[in-house]
A and B are shown apart, each in its own frame.
Chain A
């Protein structure tokens, strides 16, 4: 039985609509199929190609593999459980890294540029307004409030998208699907290029902050808006860093994570463990402990259940579409 590796399009909340219909499929011709030991059940073979690896994998069968493992060999197509691959040394999969759906397009870059421009204009208005009036404290405090509330906002949004709706929900459908895909393949976010990762949030920020930039000049308001929207826009980068390994992160990023300025790898890792109902905030994570201790989301879930009759996904046993593919993650996440 063959299954698809790492559906490249099922990503957290920032997929373009281009990927909606490709949520679990790699874009041809770079499909890679190999057998996965336990967690996936998809069996469609469309382009069975050998998994090309740069360094040897060692099969714990009597058939050692060298540089190429042709997994469409009849012996590996049997109904017996596929051999467990033991990694003998770090490997790279160039096909996966070069998958187009992970790369930034000029459209992505344009949206990120647009989002950054609106945020920087807002910041500039705050700074110039503060300089003109000589009052710095309030705009700075407003910025701090913006940073803190961005974390809360990220948690509420994340909770909503993780628990309600599906791929057919208007407006949010593609993001809901992407979030579920992210839970299944959390490591893929570390493979996305920068603009690819941020462009959807950047688009939302552009539309929201531009009118504020045009209409308002108050430095305190802009202090709040610039920091809050900037943190929201970059929350997906913070999220990606939270999925990375320490060795791959810049020391400054690690320091910020350790200091609690950015959401830490361990805190966000807790969100990716069943029952997936905690640690929803992904900017700094400063709200997570409070929200989880006081069962705020559970309370909201209960209210929605009793008022609207909707059950959140986190109340049910995770479906196969939701459960993390730990075999894939453990083998490839360190690439």
Chain B
């Protein structure tokens, strides 16, 4: 995501023929991403949409915990809006849309959550689950989910540990938690990463389009 707000910040990932750094994949300018990225994916072809069954021999780098397309998303266990602990592994076997957003009850996040809500049936029809993650506590999520009748899980990443583990880039010179969505296939491998801070509804369009074309 560019460090200044721009109306178009789409970063959906087309099919990869060879390894690329997260910087080129995700943004035009992300000063806080690592400058180098090991090319352990060199030679692995990843089609972006038609094939969810990524070869299991493909392994995530053990050096960097940042999540990129083709890597297995690191597991986490976080509390949901009802205070129950939810693990990512619970969703294995079906595609999952994991969207990181800045905070409950902010305009963009509300638009995004409501857009996910309004398209939730389509996500379910595509066999996918939706999970929202922010640094807010479970009670904030509960109130947010109740107010806007959100049917999906919101997880509390207090301390933003998972956000950091996954390498979600911050915006505006690090002042703003980034808005980034990951689509994981049924094996937990990342197939799409979409980043757009100020056009939150586009996250739904892009992820749904991707799931429906799979």
A-side residues, CB < 8 A to B, are 277, 293-296, 298-299, 301-303, 305-307, 315
Q: Which 8 A-B pairs have the closest CB atoms?
A: A295-B198, A303-B175, A299-B5, A294-B5, A295-B5, A302-B176, A293-B7, A315-B107
| Contact for A305 among B6, B7, B103, CB less than 8 A | B103
Task: Beyond the given A295-B5, A302-B108, please list 10 additional residue pairs across the A-B interface where CB-CB is below 8 A.
Answer: A293-B7, A295-B198, A296-B5, A298-B107, A299-B172, A302-B102, A302-B172, A303-B172, A306-B102, A306-B177
Kindly provide the distance from the CB of A32 to the nearest chain B CB, expressed in whole angstroms.
39
Number of interface residues of B (CB under 8 A): 14
Q: Is B106 an interface residue (CB 8 A)?
A: yes
Check if B105 sits within 8 Å of A307, measured CB to CB: no
Chain B residues, Cβ within 8 Å of A293: 7
| Contact for A299 among B7, B105, B177, B198, CB less than 8 A | B198
Give 10 A-B contacts (CB < 8 Å), ordered by A residue: A294-B6, A296-B5, A298-B198, A301-B107, A302-B106, A302-B108, A305-B106, A306-B103, A306-B175, A307-B175
Chain B residues, Cβ within 8 Å of A294: 5-7, 198
- Chief secondary structure at chain B's binding surface: loop
Kindly provide the distance from the CB of A277 to the nearest chain B CB, expressed in whole angstroms.
8
Chain B residues, Cβ within 8 Å of A303: 172, 175-176
Closest to A303 in B: B175
Closest to B109 in A: A302
Of A299, A302, A303, most buried by chain B (CB within 10 Å of CB) is A302
Kindly provide the distance from the CB of B7 to the nearest chain A CB, expressed in whole angstroms.
6
Kindly provide the distance from the CB of A87 to the nearest chain B CB, expressed in whole angstroms.
38
Chain B residues, Cβ within 8 Å of A307: 175
Kindly provide the distance from the CB of A291 to the nearest chain B CB, expressed in whole angstroms.
11
Check if B7 sits within 8 Å of A298, measured CB to CB: no
Number of residue pairs spanning A and B whose beta carbons lie under 8 angstroms apart: 37
B-side residues, CB < 8 A to A, are 5-7, 102-103, 105-108, 172, 175-177, 198
Kindly provide the distance from the CB of A299 to the nearest chain B CB, expressed in whole angstroms.
5
Chain B residues, Cβ within 8 Å of A299: 5, 172, 176, 198
Chain A residues, Cβ within 8 Å of B198: 294-295, 298-299
* A298-B107, A299-B198 known; A306-B176 Cβ under 8 A: yes
Chain B residues, Cβ within 8 Å of A298: 5, 107-108, 198
Query: For the complex, what is the distance from the CA of A198 to the CA of B103, rounded to whole Å?
Result: 40
Chain A residues, Cβ within 8 Å of B103: 305-306
Query: For the complex, what is the distance from the CA of A305 to the CA of B106, rounded to whole Å?
Result: 9
Query: For the complex, what is the distance from the CA of A277 to the CA of B108, rounded to whole Å?
Result: 13
Query: For the complex, what is the distance from the CA of A77 to the CA of B178, rounded to whole Å?
Result: 56
Chain A residues, Cβ within 8 Å of B108: 298, 302
Query: For the complex, what is the distance from the CA of A277 to the CA of B176, rounded to whole Å?
Result: 20
Query: For the complex, what is the distance from the CA of A278 to the CA of B176, rounded to whole Å?
Result: 21
Query: For the complex, what is the distance from the CA of A298 to the CA of B200, rounded to whole Å?
Result: 13
* A293-B7, A295-B198, A299-B5 known; A315-B175 Cβ under 8 A: no
Closest to A293 in B: B7
Query: For the complex, what is the distance from the CA of A306 to the CA of B177, rounded to whole Å?
Result: 9
Query: For the complex, what is the distance from the CA of A277 to the CA of B110, rounded to whole Å?
Result: 15
Query: For the complex, what is the distance from the CA of A59 to the CA of B211, rounded to whole Å?
Result: 60
Query: For the complex, what is the distance from the CA of A306 to the CA of B135, rounded to whole Å?
Result: 11
Chain B residues, Cβ within 8 Å of A306: 102-103, 175-177
Query: For the complex, what is the distance from the CA of A277 to the CA of B177, rounded to whole Å?
Result: 22
Chain B residues, Cβ within 8 Å of A302: 102, 106, 108, 172, 176
Kindly provide the distance from the CB of A163 to the nearest chain B CB, expressed in whole angstroms.
12
Query: For the complex, what is the distance from the CA of A299 to the CA of B172, rounded to whole Å?
Result: 8
Chain A residues, Cβ within 8 Å of B107: 277, 298, 301, 315
Chain A residues, Cβ within 8 Å of B177: 306
